[in-house]
Amino acid sequence: MKKKQNAYMAMLPYIILAVVLVATMFIMNLANTKVNQLTTGELMAEINKKKVTEITITPKSSDNVYYVEGKLSGYGKNESFKSKVISEEVSKITEYIDENNIKKYETNKDPGSNDFLYVFVNVVPLLILVIVAYVMFNKLASGNNRSMDFGRSKAKLSEDGGNTKFEDVAGLKEEKQEVKELIDFLKNPKKFQKLGARIPKGVLLVGPPGTGKTLLAKAVAGEANVPFYYISGSDFVELFVGVGASRVRDMFKQAKQSAPCLIFIDEIDAVGRQRGTGLGGGHDEREQTLNQLLTEMDGFGANEGIIVIAATNRPDVLDPALLRPGRFDRQVTVSLPDSRERKEILEVHAKNKKFSDEVNLGNVSQRTPGFSGADLENLLNEAALLAVRRDKEKITMAEIDEATDRVLLGPAKTSRRITEKEKRLVAIHESGHAVIGLKLQAAQEVHKITIIPRGMAGGYTMMLPKEEKMAIMTKEELIGQITGLLGGRASEETFLGQITTGASDDLKRATKIARSMVTEYGMSDLGPIQLEEKQEGVFLGRDYAKSRDFSDQVALEIDQEVSKILDQCYKDAKKILEKNETLVLLLADALMKYETITKEQIEHIVATGSIDLLEEVESEEDKSVREARLDDLKREAKERGIKGYTKMNREELEDAISKDVTGEDEEPKEEDSE
């Protein structure tokens, strides 16, 4: 009731303003209207002079009197006359009207004698206005019209917490165990209070994008079966200073009325960034909002039964006061899934899809290290889209293999025209990477090599860890990674006698690893000392004016150590390639012929020293991938109207498509003529 009264009071100024405007317009209209009162004699005289241009006759039910209204020649737009005449004179007026073809409006009955007509004309418009105003007030009172409620919270309430349960969240075994305590507390708080335990007031979910932080919060709400408020951090920040703080107060006020309950704030770094940072000072609106959030979570007031869950992938920029005990007491790191968890995630997203018998999700999980849950969902969705595009009834390994490459590097550039010289250069480059991976013990395992352009890459070598382990690497493994990255450039220089720009990304990654070894990991002759902190995603304002922790002499030594590591790895790469020249050239020849070779085919080349019979060692999965690529080329050739495409092999199809794209003319082949 109080909320409705406040709504009515908020609308009162607008109602008064509307009434004043209507009254002003009515008065102005009356001021501009002129009505001349004429006697019967004056009216008859004007009629005899034929000056009457319009006339209206209205009979009066009593006294045998008629009301006459109209206009005379020479009157203005808003000027008219009025007169009363008796019935004997009306006949003369009527004759005049008929003779001079005057406009005439005659009512047969006096409106004043009809009660219903009087009510309809005078009361109904007012009644309609009252009904419209009532409907508007009700909408405002019910909260549908939020135009005046800048300070109201935008948090959405879900009474049952949603339908997401823990069984819908694949993997994250330890993370789910951490948040289960929150559910137990909400359902049975006395069990914790008996031993004097205090449940965390806030839980911060931290991890890379796409790992399932928001999904885990939904599952907590679904399992707890309590009111669940969810809001994004950006919903607090507004143009007007103080609005965000007001929204925080309103959100906790609503939550107290629904306690016990959960509040989930997604992307809290939008409002929880460190105060006093940024060029020129802080951000008043965001900082006031953060101050209010800090006060509500752990201030003078008590928030019993309210648990706040927040998610972010930038914990490094959050204000320290937000992370202290009593606010976000617990941080749960939601990391990238391992092989077992990736398989569980793939099985969840595969429930509504049809796969052929050759598809093994366990093998797919082994080939996708570093993929997040969102990446895996996107991979299967891309595979399904490719299967539909290829008019298949089920998803095969061909679609999954292509989808994996698309997620990593983008779609294949089948229409890009590549000269034989460029093709050979890319083949030599990728063979260099592969041979380092095959012959260097500390390097990663080679799974596939291709010279099909994708995205910005002219080709790539898929190298995966020999075994999945924690993110701890030895110095030998880091040196092996650098040597493998430099293998492409070393191969170009060794076997082609020239270097190209194709190794730019390899050099960037190798230099980054080498510098980290010197400045962060203490793996150089400078000793076990950390000279630089990891600064990925610099937060401008906090790190912009960061002081150097070393002298110019040490900076020179750092550069020298980085160059020393890179030079030694490059020399080692060249030695390995020179020692295995035959294998490099065999792999390059195989790539020139097949464009893509797999792990089994690489092992066949290493064992036999020949590229013959590679088709026979092709697995069923690889065979379906090759056939699917040929089908894609034929489909594209058909769409372009290339004649005789059904009789062309893969190389002829690619050549015909590339020439059609570049607009080159080509004499039709004999089999093209139909």
Residue recorded with tokens 């823990």: 166
Q: Do 210 and 372 meet the contact criterion of CB atoms below 8 Å apart?
A: yes
Q: Do 619 and 598 meet the contact criterion of CB atoms below 8 Å apart?
A: yes
Strand positions, DSSP E, 5-155: 34-37, 52-59, 65-72, 79-86, 103-106
What type of residue sits at position 70?
Answer: G
- 85 DSSP assignment: E
**Which H or E element spans position 52?**
strand 52-59
Strand positions, DSSP E, 303-434: 306-312, 330-333
Query: In 441-475, which positions are buried (b, 16+ CB within 10 angstroms) versus exposed (e)?
Result: ebbbebbbbbbbbbeebbbbbbbbeeeeeeeebee
Question: Residue 605 corresponds to which tokens in the numbers above?
Answer: 């080349």
Which residues, at least 6 apart from 452, have a Cβ–Cβ distance to it below 8 Å?
412, 413, 414, 459, 595, 596
Question: Side-chain half-sphere of 500: how many Cα atoms within 13 Å?
Answer: 15
Is 430 one of the annotated active-site residues of the chain? yes
Of 430, 561, 595, 654, catalytic? 430
Which residues, at least 6 apart from 360, have a Cβ–Cβ distance to it below 8 Å?
none
Three-state DSSP state, 425? helix
Three-state DSSP state, 202? strand
- 404 DSSP assignment: H
Q: Do 153 and 251 meet the contact criterion of CB atoms below 8 Å apart?
A: yes
Instruction: Point out the residues that are catalytic.
Output: 430
